[in-house]
Amino acid sequence: MSLAGVLQLLQRLEVLAIIAASIAVILILALRRKEKSKKDSGTSKEELDSIKVISGLEEAVEEGKPAPPEKDVRELSDEELAKLEARVIESLIIKGALRPLPIPASKEGGHYPELTGVSERDARRLIRGLIEKGLVVEAEREFSTVACPICGSCNQVAFISCRNCGSFRIEETRYYRHTCGYIGPESSFKGELGPICPRCGGAENIETYHKKYRCPDCGAEFEEPNLAFKCGSCGSLYDEQTMEIKPFKRIVSSREMLTEYEKVSSAVNRQIELLRQQGYEVEKPASLVGESGVIHKFDAAAKKGDEMIAIVSSFGEPLTQVLVRLGVARSDLKLSKIILVTGDRPTTTERDFARSLKIDVVETTEAPRSSPSSRKP
Ligand SMILES: [Zn+2]
Ligand SMILES: [Zn+2]
Ligand SMILES: [Zn+2]
């Protein structure tokens, strides 16, 4: 078996490993969910009572119209994502960071204004990509929201409930204080035209002294009620103990890396322009399917007749590793050559290795060449 054959086989194995891992993750998630619902159904007498109350409440809530199905924003294509990435990088250059904002009554709970209209999944994909390229890092938390432990949605309505029996029917009692020193429940301050002090008859300077909560079902009184939530997406009920916390972090750019990125991307554009001038048809970005069935992604692909050239940029990843990966892709795709744009200066060994793989290494630090073909050995 040739070296290219071995590499192809290795790549196939890698793909299989990824698929196996994904299946394992899905199974684990399904099992966890099952366990969770099992836990939920294994209940004590006390819990049963509160569930009765809960189901009564659910009926009441669901008598209205059912929640509309969540609209999922369409997933972006690779090309759209690349365009969006360029836009986000532009605003990172100006502002230096992406700050999440809370979005009331939303499933997501919060979002980055620069990514408005983009699904949470795509936003995560984009940010992960930027982190992998070393252009940004996740900084400290801006805020955290309450999320459903079953479906992860932040769209919920909060209830107060009894700390003792879980009933939702608890009532709040306010205690007022008058400047004369009298303290009593709100009901004792009832006057014709608003609150009046029952001791001295004064109507001014009456202030809230404290609040108490009372449960009509079990008679318990407490200072602070329990908080319970009903998920607006899946309908589950959860409380402070079972809720999930969803953190929203600031994404901070690395100025050095952004400058590097600008250099590399303008060098990539220069290469594309040169190829266009030579009559190549350029697709940007490009996803090409190899003989192995593996999809290889490039910044661009240029085609003229039988000739196919891929243009790719690299950040942060060690050059040798990039070259190995590209060597595999080149033989899998039967490319004429690959142009690799990098800010790193290759060593002599790396340069020789690149040449043997028919990969042209273009450094951003060197002056632009008149034509990429002039770099052929
Ligand atoms: Zn109670
Ligand atoms: Zn008074
Ligand atoms: Zn939910």
**Ligand having the closest approach to the CA of 243:** 3
**Averaged pLDDT, 190-214:** 91
Sign of the alpha-carbon dihedral angle for 11, 16, 17, 19:
positive
Backbone angles phi, psi at 344, to 5 degrees: -85, 145
Q: Please report whether residue 342 resides in a domain.
A: yes
Strands of the 226-231 sheet, one edge to the other: 156-161, 226-231, 237-239
Which helix (H) or strand (E) segment holds residue 272: the answer is helix 255-277
Closest ligand relative to 215 C-alpha: 1
Ligand closest to the CA atom of residue 168? 1
* Integer CA distances (angstroms), 168 to 150, 228, 288, 302, in order: 21, 9, 58, 65
Query: Amino acid letter at 341?
Result: V
Residues 6+ apart with CB under 8 A from 106: 154, 155
Instruction: Establish if 286 belongs to a structural domain.
Output: yes
In a domain, 170, yes or no: no
CA of 10 to the centre of ligand 3 (A): 41
Neighbours of 226 (CB within 10 A): 19
Q: Which of 348, 345, 338, 347 minimizes the C-alpha distance to 365?
A: 345
Q: Give the per-residue pLDDT at 18.
A: 52
Output the pLDDT for position 355: 93
pLDDT band at residue 261 under the 50/70/90 scheme: confident
Among all bound ligands, the one having the nearest atom to the CA of 157 is: 3
Specify if 267 maps to a domain. Answer: yes
48 Cα: distance to centroid of ligand 1 (angstroms): 13
Ligand with smallest separation from the Cα of 162: 1
CA of 169 from ligand 1 middle (Å) equals 8
Residue 341 CA to ligand 3 centre (angstroms): 46
Q: How many separate domains does the chain show?
A: 2
Predicted confidence band at 99 (pLDDT cuts at 50, 70, 90)?
A: very high
Q: Give the global pTM.
A: 0.60
Give 226 Cα–ligand 1 centroid separation in angstroms. 11
H helix or E strand, kind and range, residue 308: strand 307-314
Question: What domain range includes position 349?
Answer: 256-375
- Name residue, tokens 């009832």: 190
Is residue 321, in this structure, part of any structural domain at all?
A: yes
Closest listed ligand to the CA of 217: 1
34-48, 67-81, 225-239, 296-310: least confidently modelled range: 34-48
CATH number at residue 360: 3.40.1350.10
Query: Is position 96 within any domain?
Result: no
* Predicted confidence band of residue 112 (pLDDT cuts 50, 70, 90): very high
DSSP code of 113?
A: G
Contact 7, 327 (CB under 8 A): yes
Q: Which H/E stretch holds residue 53?
A: helix 45-62
Query: So what's the pLDDT on residue 17?
Result: 53
Q: How far is the CA of 214 from the centre of ligand 1 (A)?
A: 8
Strand order in the sheet with 206-214: 183-185, 171-178, 206-214, 221-222
**Predicted local distance difference test score (pLDDT) of residue 19:** 53
Contact assessment for residue 342 and residue 314, using Cβ atoms and an 8 Å cutoff: yes
Question: Among 17-21, 89-93, 212-216, 223-227, which stretch is predicted with the lowest mean pLDDT?
Answer: 17-21
Among 64-68, 114-118, 203-207, 319-323, the least confident range: 64-68
